[in-house]
Amino acid sequence: MRRTSLGSTGISVSRFCLGTMMLGSWGNADHSDCVRLVHTALDAGVNFIDTADMYAGGETEEIVGKALKGRRDDVVLATKVHFPMGDDPNHGGNSRRWIRREVENSLRRLGTDYLDLYQIHRPDPSTDIDETLSVLSDLVREGKVMAIGSSDFSAEQIVEARWTAERRGHVPFHTEQPPYSLFMRGVERSVLPTAQRYGMGVMTWSPLASGWLTGRFRKGRGDGIGELGSFRSDMIPYKFDQSLPGNARKLAIVEELVELAAECGLPVSHLAVAFVLTHPAVSSVIIGPRTVEQLTDLLAGAEVTLDDAVLDRLDALVAPGTDLNPSDADYTPPHFADASLRRLPPQRRGA
């Protein structure tokens, strides 16, 4: 398994990072099988594992903790905080109060006394970035966290966080974790170049576009949603709704990708993952298998590289910087979702 440095942290990580969202009740409920999956990844040379407190309500972190007993020191372990962990509105977000409490919960569930990377899972408009960076910096100085990162931050939010850290004497974000695939290339416009400009490590997620780029979902073979299981079909149906033009376009492009992959002697999934790793800003790509068989299939493509001729053909299919289905975005800024944030109040209109 190839290795690279995680940005400017000096931490050496495998080019594949094991994503664990499917371990536990959201995907594979068999804990023993999940532990076997983690061990299979480690034995294959993967030394980078990404999880989050909210995955299966904390169950996933507990599974990862079981799997790493006796092997913790050889693993670069990353987790995330932000999403609600209960009905109490204070049990979530990016506040000092919540992060200080939840990092202890994650450490307990993971069975460790330190985290190699602690990430803010999403931006939180209700919390000043100064407060978030302040408590994260305290955790770094205390030795509970080695490095800190962001996830799904826009380029301007990355810049704001960097400037705030410099002006307030905080530890800056060392990494960014954006979604990136052949079908979701929007981050190429500014997020990836900005992260690169600041020397941040980039660990991208969803290289297979939530299953679209496995080659399983084809024209004339149904929409494939039934194969996804209840989690994906219930939680993110907008990514598969064929009435949306972007999703209809995905089906057409998959057919062309199947042909291109065959010419290259590759499965579509290997082509898709290799594409992501080609970008110079990307340190590691997160793969999220549910079974050992899925993991083994992806690991077989770990050494695949693509030449310029193939990359040019991929650019012709999906233009650089393009998201085929804008609805695929997993974070919507409040000023997009709340009309009152982009309109003058009635009494000021026409003034």
Rg (C-alpha) for the chain, rounded Å, is 20
Between the alpha carbon of residue 198 and those of residues 156, 193, 202, the distances in Å are 13, 9, 11
Q: Please name which of 148, 194, 200, 138 lies closest in space to residue 169, comparing C-alpha atoms.
A: 138
CB atoms within 10 A of CB 274: 21
- In a 3-state reduction of DSSP, which class is residue 79? strand
CA 269, distance to chain mean position in Å, is 17
- Interatomic CA distance for residues 142 and 114, integer angstroms: 10
- Interatomic CA distance for residues 91 and 100, integer angstroms: 11
Which residue of the set 55, 114, 198, 331 is catalytic? 55
Tokens coding 208: 């297979």
How far the first Cα of the chain sits from its last, in Å, is 63
The angle at the Cα of 180, spanning 230 to 241, to the nearest 5 degrees, equals: 40
Between the alpha carbon of residue 161 and those of residues 56, 186, 271, the distances in Å are 29, 21, 34
CB atoms within 10 A of CB 342: 9
**Phi/psi at 91 (nearest 5 deg)?**
-95, 60
Active site residue 55: yes
Q: How many CA atoms lie within 13 A of 26 on its CB side?
A: 22
Residues annotated catalytic, as ranges:
55
